[in-house]
Amino acid sequence: MLSDAKTRSTIIQTMLVLAFVAFVALLVNTTFDNLKARGIPIGFDFLTTPSRIVISEAILTYKSRDPYYWAIVVGMANTVFISVLVILFSSVLGLIVGITRLSSNPLAAGTCRVWVELARNSPPIVLLIFLYSLWWKVLPPVGEAFNPLPGVYASMRGFVVPAIGVDIGMTGLIILLAALALLAAAWVMARKGRSWPWMVPAALVAGLAGLWLADVRFAVDWPSFAGSNFQGGKELTPELSTILVGLTIYTTGFVAEIVRGGILSVGRGQWDAGNSLGLPRGKILRLIVVPQMLRVIVPPLNSQYINVVKNSTLAIAVGYPDFLAVMNTIISKSSHSIEGVFIILGVYLALNLTLSSAANWYNRRIAIVER
């Protein structure tokens, strides 16, 4: 039996796996025994106890008497919020900068090249610290805030922008969700060549009915200066603005190079074919080059998007309470370091695997199917 190469290989691999599992079990058991001997608490029961920690900025509603698990959710929401905005902004700017780098205008191409080289060759934490220091040296006090656009103010306390409020009831929300489901079903049917003409009007009617039944009200809260600070609107603190602007500048440099490489990967014959059809350069780029470019750039873009999630941990350098900063506070306050590390690894692994799964799904959708 051992003379068979396949059987021998299976036995060896099984023994290696068992040895690894035994080593991990021994390590975990020894760690727990040492923690118990030192009186260090073990387990995840602390998650349901009041946290008593302060989170200076939160996308979700948070109070210091909320349990630890909600503080973790709030920190994770902050990280997701930062990552999504940076991914969106850097993707749009990266597309523009990448295309402009191939421009025949030397000033435009040279400016974009400087951006790319500075972003790719600068440590992101240095960029964040530099931008954060500018708030106190470049921007004026709050009483003399810049007003570049109506309702938008910039000062050393950050940006203040108009806030849009929406008041909707549960009934209207359910109807609106049903309308969106109808629109999605109509789109899927149209993609499969089995379009149902009544679905789109029905979805629109359902959406309008939802708005009417729920008495949905939209309101814009415009900021105004009163006393020593602004009242109303939405405040973007220097910490949040720094991490958004800094990571966007940094990631845009990499996305731009990926886009430029993707455009150059499309053969010159595709441009010539578009010119022979009389298409302008913009339409050739949008209808011919970009669809083919996407098949090349999706995998490296996925890596950059994962890097955005990991680079969001640098928010701790400017004092923004992202997920890692919140977890550091929880670990130091609760003394559950082992459990905290497991939570940190699990959350970042889940976020990155979700991004990878979405990119892989899209990559399969646009892949060329060989017959």
Count the Cβ atoms, other than its own, within 10 Å of residue 310: 13
- Whole-angstrom Cα distance, residue 139 to residue 133? 10
Domain boundary among 154, 183, 216: 216
Secondary structure (DSSP) of 107-156: HHHHHHHHHHHHHHTS-HHHHHHHHHHHHHHTSPPGGG-EEEETTEEEET
Q: Do 271 and 325 have their domain in common?
A: yes
User: Are the CB atoms for 223 and 231 separated by under 8 Å?
Assistant: yes
CA 63, distance to chain mean position in Å, is 25
State the Cα–Cα distance between residues 31 and 317, nearest whole angstrom.
Answer: 31
Is 63 among the domain residues?
Answer: no
Q: What pLDDT score was predicted for residue 214?
A: 56
Are 205 and 91 contained in the same domain?
no
Last residue of some domain: 216, 248, 280? 216
pLDDT recorded at residue 160 = 82
Q: Mark whether 359 and 242 lie in a shared domain.
A: yes
- Residue 298's region, left for phi above 0, alpha for psi from -120 to 50, else beta, is alpha
Regarding whether 171 and 263 lie in a shared domain, the answer is: no
- What's the CA angle centered on 17, arms 13 and 23, to 5 degrees? 145
Q: Is residue 160 part of a domain?
A: no
Whether 36 maps to a domain, the answer reads no
Q: Is residue 97 part of a domain?
A: yes
Beta carbons within 8 Å of 127's beta carbon, 6+ residues apart = 119, 246, 249, 250
Do 209 and 338 share a domain, yes or no? Answer: no
Residue 48 located in a structural domain: no
Range of the domain at 323: 68-127+237-366
Render the burial of 33-58: b for 16+ CB within 10 Å, e for the rest: eebeeeeeeeeeebbeeebebebebb
The verdict on 246 and 345 lying in the same domain is yes
CA distances from 265 to 60, 271, 272, 293 (A): 43, 12, 15, 7
In total, how many domains does the chain have?
A: 2
If you search the block for the tokens 């008495």, which residue do you land on? 215
Helix (H, G, I), strand (E, B) or coil at 321: coil
Pair 291, 203 in one domain: no
pTM: 0.78
Query: Given this model, what pLDDT does residue 347 score?
Result: 92
| CA distance linking residue 221 with residue 165, whole number of Å | 7
pLDDT in tens, the chain (371 residues): 556 777 778 888 889 999 999 998 888 788 777 877 777 767 778 888 888 888 888 888 888 888 888 999 999 999 999 999 999 999 999 999 998 988 888 898 899 999 999 998 989 999 999 988 888 788 888 777 777 778 788 888 778 878 776 666 666 667 667 766 766 776 666 666 655 566 566 666 666 666 665 556 667 777 877 777 777 777 888 888 899 999 999 999 999 999 988 888 888 787 778 878 877 877 887 778 878 888 888 888 999 999 999 999 999 888 888 999 999 999 888 878 888 888 999 999 999 999 888 888 877 776 665 55
Q: Are residues 258 and 113 in the same domain?
A: yes
Answer for the pair 160, 149: CB distance below 8 angstroms, yes or no: no
CA distance 288 to 292: 7
205 and 346 share one domain = no
Same domain, 344 and 299: yes
- 79, 25, 71: which is closest to 46 by C-alpha? 71
Does the residue 286 lie in any domain? yes
Predicted local confidence at residue 84, as pLDDT: 93
* Beta bridge pairs of residue 159: 154, 236
Query: Which residue type is seen at 330?
Result: I
According to DSSP, residue 287 is labeled I
Residue 283 sits in the same domain as residue 254 = yes
Same domain for 359 and 271: yes
Task: In whole angstroms, give the CA distance from residue 356 to residue 312.
Answer: 17
Q: Which two tokens stand for residue 176?
A: 């609106």
Task: Classify the C-alpha dihedral 349-119-84-108 as positive or negative.
Answer: negative
